[in-house]
Structure 1
């Protein structure tokens, strides 16, 4: 019996999906609905990438070992450099959790698991709580402020810096010199020249991390904190090298420098425009994790999805042939609105059952920082509630940055409150 014939190649262009169009950035729901219904797997000619939008198909790819997260497996990736020409960026890429072979990836997961245990996460929550409170203290006028710049832009990187043990004076290098550049240096959406500039920009931050890990190894101190746990963990006689620890930290930094920023503006927008849902959270604090998952599902914050995938061979998905080495975008924001998975998907409902979600990915590349993201969101909501209660309102036009390379980034979220908001 012969295999079923593939459908004709489905292609779209900017007329169907334009990620930089201000209207679709401000209101992505119609275009994501169209992708799910009419173009669940389609090749975008002008972006030069496959886009997969249906929840079930994305879940299938996440668990399919034929898809790589290694940038070197892209058919337009630059030729590998000889090792003698490697920079710190090249070394980091070779050790990255997204690029090492599956066996090495699972080894890293096994050796890093203790650092992400509930015990360590509870300790991290205690450690970053005052950092989040300090961000609220810095708001010039708590009666009127911009949550995008005064809260969302600060919480993620400070939380990660405090978690790793980076002193306050180095946070700027940690954020803009490292996270900003790493998320762009291996992104197929940029030109080779741009990627080279971003890779160069990441070097000081990588050197700083290497020095930090080496110093901590010489003077271990507290073995119970995050970095101390990574240094001390031994499984079957194996321990993490300095570079492997750096690869774990950079995985957190790249998430914190970009994606986690959107969580905080999306959360405040969602809860302030759905006061009945915030009232439910006040009455039932046990809903906190569900709130964060629902914000990320409903918010439609990503234009292109998660880490790019590259088929290691020709793979059929949804009746389309995804060619070996092609660039595949998993459209998580669309999948979060798929009516085949979510009942009444445009409804923001903090009591929703999120079983089977792929909000943080799935399979071997489940987001390593998901617990840290949840902790950040929880602390921000709690601090906002403690200071402002139900007196906060959105006080003007929400503005977006249509030029952002991957996010429907809220660039201005004006908030007014009836309280002073100081501790």
Structure 2
């Protein structure tokens, strides 16, 4: 064990866990096992962050009000800019869910919940379906193609763009401009200079979204996503334009980055478990379980979802996490923790997923989880409609070890009977 002798703080370094190691990216299970058993709560000296690995402790951190999700509560956060120096990124982020007080967070959740209802998801599903059909139509040779480039890189951001009502010619603005920069703009693992550049590069996309919301507001209310956000009124309160845009960028961040791994992981799971693919064909009621189990089984995350910052010194798992520390509840090892999941590396659609952390937990449960489930189901249904059970993996998987927060599959070649 790598423990310091001069302090009771448990410490690890890249010799224990290197997120950019190709050995880890290709085979994370020994590292996940070691973190859970030897270093359940430990400070990573090379990254400067605390890591919490077991499911029960990660759940405690995720749900506890003793932790903040606001970047401003990090002990090394830069001093806040005077309001006179704010750019558009700063103005929008002031209304982001992660940066609200408990009361403000609950207010935004209450006012945005109707737009994420099953009813609204059903109404916009045809838009998402059309975008996914379009992705499959674009595959140059359906007899042999790369799932990573031809499906996974396109489906999430297009689904969100259609949900928001963005025209197809704006997809690249989301994917390579706004989305890419959003996921890095407030990440403490980047330097202050890098974060400032990422933030500045979000501004063209933010302006586009503000114009989109203003056009929707002037065009009258409708039952689509933005229309529902505009129309919702609870106890005399409504969302204003920047609050709506702040919500949209939360979805775009997920769609431009983290949701990409759902599609490669789900198809990898089913192509290596044909019995479960057959079961899904027999049991269409299992599509939601298929999305959850694919993500859990794949354990693609390197670090965590939303970092936490203790509001005061907090003891977790025998370690004291000081106020303002940067804390990652590690989703990867928690999703395959045998203390929570019997035979955790077995892919099983009939598994009981109660209490899972796949979409987080507590007040910051992923607000777009219905969208993720819809796009995952539609992608799998379209894959089955086109290729049935003829698809098979060809060659080895390729990974991008440099990806900041995912064991990103960069190439996954599939051959079909199409």
Distance 1:125 1:265 in 2: 21
TM-score normalised by L of structure 2: 0.97
> CA offset at residue 66 of structure 1?
1.4
Q: Contact conserved, 1:74 with 1:326, CA < 8 A, in 2?
A: yes
Q: Contact conserved, 1:400 with 1:412, CA < 8 A, in 2?
A: yes
Partner of 2:124: 124
Partner of 1:362: 361
Residue deviations 1:262-288 (CA, integer Å, cap 9, x gap): 000000101001111111111111111
Residue deviations 1:55-113 (CA, integer Å, cap 9, x gap): 11111112211101100111111110000010011111111111111111100000011
SS in 2 for 1:329: strand
Distance 2:123 2:329 in 1: 34
Partner of 1:77: 77
Q: Contact conserved, 2:174 with 2:256, CA < 8 A, in 1?
A: no
Aligned-residue RMSD, C-alpha: 0.9
Distance 2:207 2:126 in 1: 28
Partner of 1:53: 53
> CA offset at residue 215 of structure 1?
1.5
Q: Contact conserved, 1:29 with 1:300, CA < 8 A, in 2?
A: no
SS in 2 for 1:277: helix
Detail structure 1 runs of 4+ shifted over 6 Å in the superposition.
Answer: none
SS in 2 for 1:249: helix
> CA offset at residue 395 of structure 1?
1.0
Q: What residue ranges of structure 1 are gaps of 5+ in the alignment?
A: 1-6
1:238-387 residue pairs with structure 2 within 5 A? 238-387=237-386
Q: Does 1:190 align with 2:190?
A: yes
Partner of 2:233: 234
Partner of 1:154: 154
Distance 1:24 1:300 in 2: 12
Q: Contact conserved, 1:308 with 1:329, CA < 8 A, in 2?
A: yes
Distance 1:104 1:93 in 2: 13
Q: Does 1:410 align with 2:409?
A: yes
SS in 2 for 1:321: strand
> CA offset at residue 9 of structure 1?
1.0
> CA offset at residue 348 of structure 1?
1.0
Residue deviations 1:322-376 (CA, integer Å, cap 9, x gap): 0111110111111011111110111111110001111101111000010100001
Residue deviations 1:307-333 (CA, integer Å, cap 9, x gap): 111111110001000011111011111
SS in 2 for 1:235: coil
TM-score normalised by L of structure 1: 0.96
Distance 1:124 1:73 in 2: 37
Q: Contact conserved, 1:182 with 1:199, CA < 8 A, in 2?
A: yes
Q: Contact conserved, 1:391 with 1:417, CA < 8 A, in 2?
A: yes
Partner of 1:95: 95
Partner of 2:4: none
SS in 1 for 2:259: helix
Q: Contact conserved, 1:19 with 1:303, CA < 8 A, in 2?
A: yes
SS in 1 for 2:380: helix
Count how many residue pairs are aligned between Structure 1 and Structure 2. 412
Residue deviations 1:33-71 (CA, integer Å, cap 9, x gap): 111111110000001000000111111112211101100
Partner of 1:216: 216
1:21-36 residue pairs with structure 2 within 5 A? 21-36=21-36
Partner of 1:3: none
Partner of 1:64: 64
Distance 2:33 2:289 in 1: 23
